[in-house]
Amino acid sequence: MSKTFKSILVTGGSGQVGYELCRALSAFGSILAPSRDELDLSDANAVDVYLAKHQPDLIVNPAAWTAVDAAETHQNEATRLNTALPAQLAKYADKHNAYLVHYSTDYVYAGTGDKPWLESDTPAPLSVYGQTKLAGDQAVVHHCKNHLIFRTSWVYADRGNNFLKTMLKLGEQRDSLNIVNDQFGAPTNARMIAQVTALAIYRKLLNQPIESGVYHLVNNGVTNWYGFAEAIFKQARLNNLPLKLDKLGGISTAEFPTPAARPANSRLNVSKLENALGIKLPNWQQQLEYTLNSYLK
């Protein structure tokens, strides 16, 4: 590779996407991925000191307050991580001519209708989490010229806490389960997010960056949480995982109330990113099969 970054800051390197980013971006320069003990991102002053000391020229920010229900009662903490931190990183990046890649969520949309959302649609978040993430996106756009914002959904990986791992655990413990079947979206593999991010960053290194702005980055295809669970258990059985589960049923969102409201329609149109990078994003089922085959073997 002809050119690399001097120093790459990956926030939230212990998270699902952050862990994969540290692997996917390692060829692009020296990676800094401070743990929470090394850098508490809720401490704005500590973040300023860290940036001044290490002067990253690429900042990739998957760190977030991702506890959607807890955000309803921890608005200040969620706002710091999801809004103020991206704003702070964006101001630094703009001032120091660094490139900023940030991550956002399907939860910025209202969830009405059944058409896939476009990046140009007006967001209308239903929850504190969604509101704080949307304000973070707006801050990045406002404060930093050279940025990318990737909105993703239903993230899973073979590590961390996620729906896939919860289902596998419950499937071994319970003989019946009811899963919500009226919220639609695309399960998205954290490694795929990191690899596509790497491709976009490579374009920047080649001096052919894709245009700054918001892009949807999710696996292709659509399902609901029940369909996701069904596919997980099918693959688990094919991999001979001993499951106690005998009956998988569907329930409505109304039958499974949560502190934070979830959008019913989380379908995201990915054409903008596919066209910008000249790629076709993989289908969610194919990615799930691939992840489970390696995770369970």
Ligand X SMILES: NC(=O)c1ccc[n+]([C@@H]2O[C@H](COP(=O)([O-])OP(=O)(O)OC[C@H]3O[C@@H](n4cnc5c(N)ncnc54)[C@H](OP(=O)(O)O)[C@@H]3O)[C@@H](O)[C@H]2O)c1
Residue 152, beta-bridge partner list = 105
SS3 of 259, please?
Answer: coil
Residue 139 Cβ, how far from ligand X at the closest point, in Å?
13
How far apart are alpha carbons 196 and 155 in whole angstroms? 14
How far apart are alpha carbons 252 and 194 in whole angstroms? 32
* 153 scored as a contact of ligand X (CB under 6 A): yes
* 103 scored as a contact of ligand X (CB under 6 A): yes
Residue 278 Cβ, how far from ligand X at the closest point, in Å?
24
**Catalytic pick among 50, 129, 156, 215:** 129
* 109 scored as a contact of ligand X (CB under 6 A): no
Regarding beta strands 184-185 and 223-224, do their DSSP bridges make them parallel or antiparallel, or are they unpaired?
antiparallel
Residue 3 Cβ, how far from ligand X at the closest point, in Å?
27
* 36 scored as a contact of ligand X (CB under 6 A): yes
User: Which residues within the stretch 47-66 sit at the binding site for ligand X (CB under 6 A)?
Assistant: 62-64, 66
Q: Which is nearer to ligand X, 221 or 243 (CB)?
A: 221
CA dihedral 126, 131, 132, 136 (to 10 degrees): 130
SS3 of 189, please?
Answer: strand
Contacts of 166 (CB under 8 A, 6+ apart): none
Helix axes 284-296, 225-238, angle to 10 degrees: 40
SS3 of 151, please?
Answer: strand
Q: Which is nearer to ligand X, 189 or 235 (CB)?
A: 189
Is position 215 annotated as part of the catalytic site?
no
- In one-letter notation, the amino acid at residue 243 is L
Contact 127, 192 (CB under 8 A): no
Residue 21 Cβ, how far from ligand X at the closest point, in Å?
9
* 154 scored as a contact of ligand X (CB under 6 A): yes
Q: Binding marks (x or -) toward ligand X, 177..206, rule CB under 6 A?
A: ------------------------------
- Single out the residue of 84, 90, 155, 288 in contact with ligand X (rule: CB under 6 A): 155
Give the residues lining the site for ligand X (CB under 6 A).
12, 14-18, 36, 40-42, 62-64, 66, 81, 103, 105-106, 133, 152-155, 160
Q: Which residues are catalytic?
A: 129
